[in-house]
Chains A and B, each alone.
Chain A
Amino acid sequence: MPQPIRLKDHEKDARQVRSRVFIGMAVIAFLSCLLVARMYYLQVMQYDYHSTLSENNRVHVQPIPPTRGLIYDRNGVILADNRPSFSLTVTRERAGDWKKTLDTVVEVLGLQPEDKELFEKRMRQGRRPFEPVPILFELTEDQIARIAVNQFRLPGIDVAAQLVRHYPLGEHFAHSVGYVGRINEQELKKLDPVNYSGTHHIGKTGIERFYESELHGQVGYEEVETNARGRVLRVLNRTDPKPGKDIVLTLDANLQAAAEKALGGRRGAIVAIQPRTGEVLAMVSQPSYNPNLFVAGISFKDYAELRDSIDRPLYNRVLRGLYPPGSTIKPVVALSGLDAGVVTPSTRVFDPGYYQLPNYDHKYRNWNHSGDGWVDLETAIMRSNDTYFYDLAHKIGIDRLHDYLNRFGIGQRVSLDMFEEASGLMPSREWKRVTRRQVWFPGETLILGIGQGYMQTTPLQLAQATSLIASHGKWIRPHLAKTIENQPPVDSNPMPDILLKDPANWDRITQGMEAVVHAPRGTAHKMGATAAYRIAGKSGTAQVVAIRQNERYNSAALKERHRDHALFVGFAPADNPQIAISVMVENGESGSGVAAPVLKEVADAWLLDENGKLKAEYAKPVVAESTKP
């Protein structure tokens, strides 16, 4: 039982507390007087000032939006600029009965009743009192004139000039640069309301989205005095906005155009990376769309058309397209096998046309059913021999295979600055246990060896894996921004470089990939025959399994879409890599037949001069280069 307070202290404690309470009372009285004094100061001494402020002339603070940073390609070709545009704004506080005013606007401009609903929706997004809300964009000269003539009937309605984003090259860079659009309700909640107080657009995707904070800049403001009817009488004070930063991209508009031409109107994706720097030189996802449609607000009909098109133009195949890599993964698997020590370059496997696991009946077939006989590593890559890679994958085992492929970026986001990149999938025992509640079967490791099964990669990941082989494992995340206001982007989460136990294995794999293109029995030797320089490449096909159940209903249209996707990866020149490319042609069927020529055309555009000769600076460097680890 706690002892109650000791009696001898009781009186003293009470006195102590009483004296402190009196002190407290004095302080409270003093502070209360302070508050009253403050009120007296504001309400009596400064009454005239505040009352004038509030009754007669109103001082408003108007935000001045900053100019959005421009976006250039690596040669200074402008990809996103700002154009002056006129929009119609309403200031609700000045408009009186604003719904009636909107009716008048609709009548004067000869618009439809639906437009009024749209106006009202946009009005509801108004934020600050006395802030003009834009309701109609891209006014024509005729519309501006009509508004001017009827101005007396339109209180609170103004024509405002502002800078609006424009993409001069339109659909060619829609998938890399992205676009801006009007700020929606959700974004509004997350934004800094001060910095965006004068801004109506925000980056929605691509570079515009990823570098939104750099591109946007810092808001400025001006204090203006307005009369009781809301007209600005004079500007009292002005702080200029700080414009957004300009961004120079690594993309090359010429190469981009050449790559699109090489794809020849087919659906597909192309990524070209400079292995030494990680700079993305071209990024094509076809078909594309016109980003300018989104800036002023795309109409519902246009949007539905884009969204529902069977060609899926809004779909970024480079970053979001997930395909089994097929045989294009074989060089990486071969490297893993060499580095894990399960094979040597001279290890041979007999191919009777199929592979069988010990104690299993199932036959895993080579694409060449008659078999290639005894094959070693280089031959296996050159011939894309499935049997060899079944055996190799089996020897490496799923755990090591998963680790190695992970280090090459398979199953992870590889880019530095690309919005909404898909991470793809590199399966593992753990993954299968968690997602499927099943153990890992040995057969599943085999088909991973030829890039089938659960594995899913994006064209960007394939390009990066190829670029890693070209750069001998030097990891630089592929990036689109070359400089942001003259500062290169910084990778806050770099990937560790790939160090092989025997660095000579890089060259062995490169030799195998060169044989694919240049050896007489190589799968892509037809393409190699016309090349002005050495290419190291690998073909592949990705099976299409989706939408098969619909086949019966629309066979004419769908059959073509059931064909395999054609893949080809490669870098060139093989002895001095300047460009690493991955090509995916949707339903192209043959990697070596369809995708390989596309790759060569892109590489030609980058490497050859106007006479069809390899540019001097890309020729094989002098000996010093090859001593690098």
Chain B
Amino acid sequence: MNSNFDRTIPEGDVMRRRSTLLQRMHIDGPLLLILLMLGAVGLFVLYSASGKSWDLVIKQGTSFGLGLVAMIVIAQFEPRFMARWVPLGYLIGVALLVVVDVMGHNAMGATRWINIPGVIRFQPSEFMKLLMPMMVAWYLSKRSLPPSFKHIVVSLITIGIPFVLILDQPDLGTAMLILASGGFVLFVGGMQWRWLIGAVAAAAPVAVAMWFFVMHDYQKRRVLTFLDPEMDPLGSGWNIIQSKAAIGSGGVFGKGWLLGTQSHLDFLPESHTDFIIAVLGEEFGMVGVCLLLCLYLLLIGRGLTITIQAQTLFGKLLAGSVTMTFFVYVFINIGMVSGLLPVVGVPLPFISYGGTSVVTLLCGFGVLMAIHTHRKWIAQS
């Protein structure tokens, strides 16, 4: 009924309200602008962090371009169309995670990839990053808010299955992000404070159990290293000590582009992936870090505006979760590199080298654009 109805809006009416090219392409101007700026900053820093490697910069640029295309394609879909296919997508995603886990156990080691040689190679957990909030948002949007206890329990189970599967891969960073993205839907959906606090309180014994039964040695070591970096100064502690020294030695204004000694003397491992903020901090100082943070906050502000303006409950819940999860990326990454949080392997959005993460993130913003730009069709009905 509704979709047919939408198409009957007179031609002139539509043209009047969506006159610009961007609007016709379902692109949100402010979002696109900030994303392009972040992308440019990312390539700029990557050039320095990778030791002036054009190769990496071009690869990363290509990934960013691909991600933009994916974002625009996703923006064309109506959110209600997405909602219809979410349950199926979720089931497929969980099935793929199970396949990866089984394969991983057979290979006697960790694997996060599905690899059909010559055809495709991808991480199902990346899909889950988008499907997770969609699934919970779809479920809750059909119920009245705030969610009742029963609905919260069902949502938690929905979140828990992929969480445990990814944790088992083992990939603590992604598992936490997926937990967060599902949790934010519940939070935005108005889950009562007492249950929110109750869930957090219940997580403590679960975390203790995880420590003893689920976590791998290297993950335990990371947490221990966080608590006392001096304990393992040759291994993971080395990264923290060096990244703190890199950031700290940058001062207020930094040493200048391409002039960071810590990163360029190879003191800093993984300087172009997870620890890239240390390079930025060293070369552009506190000013550089704050400017980058401002860009992120602008992006988040736009995302939250879209959340408030969204007209379906599904859109509101989804947009809120995607935006808040994005902040979790930023916070965890900068927090871990500067020694506030344990090292869990979360990339800095759009700056860290890595094609998969860039494409997934841009897909998330594609969803935001879809929510925002398809809004007016229903609004006028």
Contact = CB atoms under 8 A, between A and B. Distances in A.
A128 B234 CA distance: 9
B188 A194 contact: no
B340 interface: yes
Given A5-B313, A31-B327, A46-B248, 16 more contacts: A13-B145, A16-B146, A17-B308, A20-B187, A24-B184, A28-B297, A28-B327, A34-B340, A36-B289, A38-B335, A43-B247, A43-B281, A47-B248, A47-B252, A50-B249, A197-B234
B320 interface: yes
A339 interface: no
9 contacts: A5-B141, A13-B316, A17-B317, A21-B304, A31-B331, A42-B338, A50-B244, A53-B249, A129-B267
Contacts of B244: 42, 50
Contacts of B251: 43-44, 47, 51
A223 interface: yes
A194 B232 contact: yes
A53 B261 CA distance: 11
Give 8 nearest A-B pairs by CB, closest first.
A50-B248, A194-B235, A16-B190, A54-B249, A42-B248, A43-B286, A50-B249, A129-B266
Interface in A187-229: 193-194, 197, 219, 221, 223
B286 A28 contact: no
Contacts of B347: none
B248 A61 contact: no
Interface of A: 1-2, 4-6, 9, 12-14, 16-21, 24-25, 28, 31-32, 34-36, 38-40, 42-44, 46-47, 49-51, 53-55, 61, 63, 93, 128-129, 193-194, 197, 219, 221, 223
B110 to A, nearest CB: 13
Contact of B2 (A4, A46, A193): A4
Given A1-B1, A9-B144, A17-B317, A47 B249 contact: yes
A244 B313 CA distance: 63
B285 interface: yes
A558 B57 CA distance: 63
Contact of B234 (A2, A31, A194): A194
Given A42-B247, A47-B251, A16 B145 contact: yes
Contacts of B335: 35, 38
Nearest to B324: A24
Judged by DSSP, the binding face of B is: helix
B293 interface: yes
Interface in B266-285: 266-267, 281, 285
Given A28-B327, A31-B331, A50-B244, A43 B252 contact: yes
Contacts of B261: 54-55
A54 B307 CA distance: 45
A39 B317 CA distance: 33
Most chain B CB within a 10 A radius of its CB, from A6, A18, A39, A63: A39
A63 B331 contact: no
Contact of B245 (A4, A9, A40, A54): A54
B125 interface: no
A9 B144 CA distance: 7
Interface residues of B, number: 56
A20 B196 CA distance: 13
A221 B230 CA distance: 11
Nearest to A40: B286
Contacts of A55: 249, 261
B32 interface: no
Contacts of A39: 247, 281, 286, 289-290, 338
Contacts of A53: 245, 248-249
Given A39-B286, A61-B238, A32 B266 contact: no
A39 to B, nearest CB: 5
B351 interface: no
B75 interface: no
B206 interface: no
Contacts of A25: 301, 304
Interface string B15-43: 00000000000000000000000000000
A50 B338 CA distance: 13
Nearest to B138: A2
Interface in B233-255: 233-235, 238, 244-252
Contacts of A223: 233
B249 A17 contact: no
B312 A93 contact: no
Nearest to B184: A24
B245 A50 contact: yes
A46 to B, nearest CB: 5
A36 B293 contact: yes
Nearest to A198: B234
A13 B248 contact: no
Contacts of A2: 142
A457 B244 CA distance: 61
B262 interface: yes
Interface in B288-323: 289-290, 293, 297, 300-301, 304, 307-308, 312-313, 316-317, 320
B262 A17 contact: no
B342 interface: no
A194 B232 CA distance: 9
